A and B are shown apart, each in its own frame.
Chain A
Amino acid sequence: MIQKKDNVEANNQKFTLSSKNNAKKTTSKNKKKNLAEIKMAIKTPKDNQTKKSSEIGFLNNKKNDAEIAREKYSMNIKSEKQKQDEISGKKEMNFQDAKTHSKGIVAILLVFVLSVFSIGSVIVAGNLSNTTTISANVNNTRIVQAKLSSLGYYDKEIDGIYDKDTIDAIKNYQADKNLAVTGSLDSATTTALGVTDNAQANSDLYLLAKLIYSEARGEIYQGQVAVGAVVLNRVADAGFPNTLQGVIYQPWAFTALHDGQFSLEPNTTAYNAAQDAMNGWDPTYGCLYYYNPKTATSSWIFSRTIAVTIGNHVFCY
Chain B
Amino acid sequence: MRKTRTFVAVIVALLVFSGVLAAGWIGSNNQANLYAGRLENTYQKSFSELVTNINSIEITMSKALISVDNEKKQQLYQNINQLCTLCGTNLGNLPVNHKSIVETTKFINQLGGFSYYLSQKLKNNQSMTDADNNSINELYNWCVYVQGVINEYANNQDGSFNILNNANFNDTSTGFEEMFSNTSATGVEFPTLIYDGPFSDSIKNKAVKGLEDFEITEDEAKQLLQKAFADYNIKNLTYTGMTEGTFLSYNLTFETTHRTYYANITKKGGLLLNVSSYGTQGTDVLKLKDAETEAELFAHNLGFTDMKSVWGTILDGVAYVNLVPIINNVMIYPDMIKVKVTLDTGSIIGWEATSYAYNHDNRDDFNFEITEANARNMVSPELSILSIKKCIIPQEYGEEQLCYEYKCTYNNYTYYVYISGKTGIEIDTLRVVKTYAGDLLQ
Q: Which segment, of A6-14, A45-53, A116-124, A170-178, faces chain B? A: A116-124
Is the beta-carbon distance between B246 and A113 smaller than 8 angstroms? no
Chain B interface residues (CB < 8 Å from chain A): 2, 5-6, 9-10, 12-14, 16-17, 20-21, 24, 27-28, 31-32, 35, 85, 88-89, 91-99, 102-103, 105-106, 109-110, 113, 167, 169-170, 199, 203-204, 241-247, 251, 260, 262, 264, 274, 276-278, 283-284, 314-317, 320, 338, 340, 343, 350, 352, 354-355, 433-437, 440
Known: A240-B105, A279-B338. A201 touches B245 (CB 8 A): no
Q: Which of A221, A239, A252 contacts B97 (CB 8 A)?
A: A252
Q: Which of A194, A201, A251, A287 contacts B167 (CB 8 A)?
A: A251
Q: Which of A98, A105, A253 contacts B13 (CB 8 A)?
A: A105
Is A291's beta carbon under 8 Å from chain B?
no
A-B contact pairs, 7 of them (CB 8 A): A120-B24, A124-B24, A143-B437, A198-B435, A251-B95, A308-B243, A308-B244
How far apart are the CA atoms of A250 and B436 in the complex, in Å? Answer: 27
Is the beta-carbon distance between A98 and B2 smaller than 8 angstroms? yes
Contacts of B247 in A (CB 8 A): 285
Q: Which residue of B lies closest to A277 (CB)?
A: B276
B-contact 0/1 string along A253-277, CB 8 Å cutoff: 1000000000000000100100110
Contacts of B21 in A (CB 8 A): 113, 116-117, 120
Contacts of B94 in A (CB 8 A): 251
Q: Which residue of A lies closest to B31 (CB)?
A: A128
A: interface residue count bin:
35 or more
Q: Which segment, of A21-29, A36-44, A146-154, faces chain B? A: A146-154
Is A205's beta carbon under 8 Å from chain B?
yes
B-contact 0/1 string along A123-153, CB 8 Å cutoff: 0110010000000000110011011011110
Distance in angstroms from B411 CB to nearest chain A CB is 15
Contacts of B31 in A (CB 8 A): 124-125, 128
Is the beta-carbon distance between A286 and B13 smaller than 8 angstroms? no
Known: A150-B343, A246-B92, A253-B98. A144 touches B436 (CB 8 A): yes
Known: A246-B92, A252-B169. A128 touches B28 (CB 8 A): yes
Contacts of A284 in B (CB 8 A): 243, 245
Contacts of A16 in B (CB 8 A): none
Is the beta-carbon distance between A280 and B436 smaller than 8 angstroms? no
Known: A285-B247, A308-B244. A125 touches B105 (CB 8 A): no
Contacts of B109 in A (CB 8 A): 238-239, 242
How far apart are the CA atoms of A267 and B6 in the complex, in Å? Answer: 54
Contacts A121-B24, A247-B92, A309-B241 aside, 6 further interface pairs with beta carbons under 8 A come to A99-B5, A124-B28, A146-B317, A147-B316, A225-B276, A250-B92
Known: A105-B9, A282-B354. A221 touches B89 (CB 8 A): no
Known: A198-B436, A225-B276. A283 touches B245 (CB 8 A): no
Distance in angstroms from A237 CB to nearest chain B CB is 8
How far apart are the CA atoms of A309 and B264 in the complex, in Å? Answer: 13
